[in-house]
Each structure stands twice: as C-alpha cells, then as structure tokens.
Amino acid sequence: MRLSVLDQSPIRSGATPADAIAESIELARACDRLGYHRYWLAEHHASGGLAGAAPEILIGHIAQATQNIRVGSGGVMLSHYSALKVAETFRMLETLHPGRIDLGVGRAPGSDQKTMQALRAGPGSASIDYYPRQVLDTIGFMENRLEDDHPFRGIIAQPAGETVPEVWMLGSSMDSAAYAAHFGLPFSFAHFITPRGGDMVAEAYRQRFRPSERYPEPRLSVGVFALAADTEEKAEYLVKSRNLWLVRLMKGELGPFPTPEEADAYTYGPHDLEMLEANRGRSIAGTPDKVARQLSELRDTYQADELVVVTISHDFEARVRSYELLAREFGLQAKAAA
C-alpha cells in the first residue's frame, strides 16, 4: 500500500505563517527521505490557522527541495480560477519537475463566503455549477485535447511537453465521486472531513467508473488524520491541540493551533463536548502499532490503493516523529540524501 502526505501548513500558536511555510518545506524533505509516495499541499484562504493559500507556488519550491517524492495540490479549488491558467501553471511545474507533479482539484471554497467572493471578483466569475466544465477544460488545455467544437480549441497551454501531471479529483461527497467516475479520474476521499459513509462513496465511485485513456482502472486514495507517538499518553496529549482547534473552527473561530496546555485550560461546554464526540471518528491517534492497525483497517474498509495522512500537532518535532513512526510501521524504504 502506498502512504502519502497531506500538508495543510498549520500555523502554531506563538508562531508565524512564515514559520508554517518553513515547516512545510522541512517536513517535505523528511517525508522524501522516509519513502512516502507523494506530498500534497492544501489550499485555504484568509485563515488564521492554515498558511497554505497558494499551493501552486509551494509545490515548485518543495519539488526543488526534494528528490523522489511526487508533489502536488490537495487541492486547487478550481471554481476560483481560470481553467487555462491552472493548466498553464501545472504544465510549468511538470516541465520543471517532469514525472513528479500532481494536480488535485476540488470544488470546496477553502474559505468563508466573503473571502470566496473576493477570490471570484469580476464579471467573468463562474458559479459552482460550472465546476464539471472547468474540470474538463483544465484537462483539455493541459493535454491539448479540447473538443473539436470548443470555442477555445487551438489555444495551447505552455510550456507543452512530453509528460503531464497526474490529475486527481478530491472530495468528501457522493457528487465528487460521481464526477471522478464520470470523467475517468483517480479519486481521493477526505475521510478526515467526512468520516461516515465514505465506504459507500468509494464503492459508488468504483461501480460507476468510466475508463479513460490515462486511467483505465479506478484509483482510490483516502485522506485521514493520524498522529502516532512513542506512547499512548504522549499521543493523547498531542492530539488535544487539534481537538480544541476543531471545536473553535466549528464556531467560526479561525485562529492558530493551540498548545496542549491551552486545550487543558479551556472550559468545554456541553455543546463543545458534543462536537468533540462528533469529531472522534475524524482522527486516529496512539502508539505506532495502534495507529498502523487502524489505518490498515481503514484501507480495507475503503479498499483503497493509498492513504494520504495529515498530521498536525503544536510540537513540530512531534509531527515529524509521527511520520517517522508510521514509515517504520509500514516498512517504507528510506532514501539517502544525495
């Protein structure tokens, strides 16, 4: 089974967004050495807790800083942008780093409604209903195969080359799975967002999949939050930060990731405790063998080809350590630095 990484570039309490970006680069280097298959950067806007507003820029920097790992978007929120511009951006990345670039696309706003309006400002902005057409246009521009009657046929997304990025559709709903199946694209399901019913979404994707020229068979990955530590007590301590951050997020508070001590000092009301319980299925935390066992069970439930692990802790070294422990448990082949 392939094991990969989703990095949301979290901003820690007491640290800066610049620190978060520097940590993304450092973590990518570590995961490259550890043998992870791909490293995806998320897109979020106007967030006090997540610094990754422009994955297309960070992808290029991380690909330059690493040697073997595939690097891509998890994902580009396509409804904000021109299909041609996205295709050109990822053709440029593929030209600079051939055979290592992924374009994951999604249709969530990655922001609040006001920020979404600012991103889409202008008379040419398209509604979310146009998303399926944007997916087709992005692939068409990138692979130079728009339909014969397409009004933009003949426009070439430069720099053209021999290879093209892998295109993945990301989502947490049946709609996204249906689009991925219809277009014959690999699908990455966000279990860390929607932990219930995902196995049914995955099965619907496989059943409805229409083979395409590049992807003759369905390919499924699952995004999951997991945090491993050397002891169960350490894992439970570290995961307190994300638990409080999620409670605050669901209240509309978009601040940085708190320390475990802040989480201990926080007074959780009855509604907060209900939210914590509801979020329990979104996270896996514990000793390496426990986390690996639960990840393997999740893989079997989804019949997934790949797991994409997102790990956040206030302690950055503990975050790196978690990926080290999982790499060891799953027998990933470490690669020596050149």
> CATH number of 2-230+283-329: 3.40.50.970, 3.20.20.140, 3.20.20.30, 3.40.50.300?
3.20.20.30
Between CA 197 and CA 211 the distance in angstroms is: 24
Give pLDDT, residue 223: 98
pLDDT of residue 105: 96
Query: Tens digits of per-residue pLDDT, 271-283?
Result: 988 888 877 778 8
Distance CA 139, CA 152 (A): 13
The whole-number pLDDT of residue 122 equals 47
pLDDT score at 130: 80
> Which parts of the chain sit beneath pLDDT 50?
121-123
Q: Say how many CA atoms lie within 13 Å of 227 toward its Cβ.
A: 26
